[in-house]
Amino acid sequence: MNRNSVVAVVGATGAVGIEMIKTLEKRQFPVGKLVLLASARSVGKKLKFRGHDVTVTELTKESFKGVDIALFSAGGGISKEFAPIAAKAGCVVVDNSSAFRMDPDVPLVVPEINAADVKQHKGIIANPNCTTAITLMALYPLHRAFGVKRIFASSYQAVSGTGAKALEELERQVEQIVHKQPVTKEVYPHQIAFNVIPHVDSFLDTGYTKEEMKMENEGRKIMHLPTFKASVTCVRVPVYRSHSIAVSAEFEKPVSVAAARAVLAKAPGLDVVDAPEKKEYPMPLHTSEKYNCAVGRLRLDCAMENGLCFWVSGDQLLKGAALNAVQIAEELLK
């Protein structure tokens, strides 16, 4: 891979696609040429990159000739169809959908945790689920020190995780409620404004949702820990941006708050914000548009042996998506 890569962004006009373009620019990724790809309805749109307009072109089977790296964020169906075509054309795909995450031939990577797995790619590398990635930023350093057995967790997931239409829905509903108008809904099955919905992704026969099981399944793969167990409730909250997760983790070894804090303070990509006496703790308002995740509310779990509770918050469009994808691309250049 040369130092001036031809980089394609698939799904360039979506919320994550736009963040991918901004992140490539901010992190000064060595882009020789940027190719923006989207569906027919977005063709001709112009997006800024390094002060210049780049015109969006249509995604076709021929789009990947001469492309070195393609960052995909256009949904699982598009990824399943076009990622193998791109890989065959000699391009390395970093895919943000769930299409290939559990494929044994595809590395699933959070660079701060398992960057070495990038080397095993066969043309496609998967970006993890956003809630999983943000949780593991705090959990993995603790696992390395104390050996995690299982976690119980609840997520507080921002509407931008669903996309631009969901942001508009929250904004519209707040307006409707303030002006005492009837509330209309299109994206979510229930009103999201001034409400929380314990339903993210589709339900499985077990009663868990797919999103809830991603934490266990993807966590095992990323941490190389096949025994890891996670019981999760995923909740959509009326927040624009940044997911937060409340975690109770049980470890093999005894853990103290001081020891945990010392480990987390050294963890890459993570800020410790933990001063309850000053009312300082991670919040989505403060982690939005930031690269680092934040962890706080550290305390011994009073219901578990060797247990620690913590609260982690991170921008799901960045560490949960665009930033992680660009970091994977950076690993490819090393």
Active site residues: 130, 243
Distance from chain centroid for Cα 233: 17
Phi (first) and psi of residue 285, to 5 degrees: -60, -35
Return the closest-CA partner of residue 268 out of 69, 62, 111: 111
The whole-angstrom separation of Cα 6 and Cα 34 is 6
Contacts of 140 (CB under 8 A, 6+ apart): 110, 112, 113, 222, 223, 267
| Contact (CB, 8 A) for 67 and 94 | no
CB burial readout 131-154, b (16+ within 10 A) else e: bbbbbbbbbbbbbebbebbbbbbb
Distance from chain centroid for Cα 324: 7
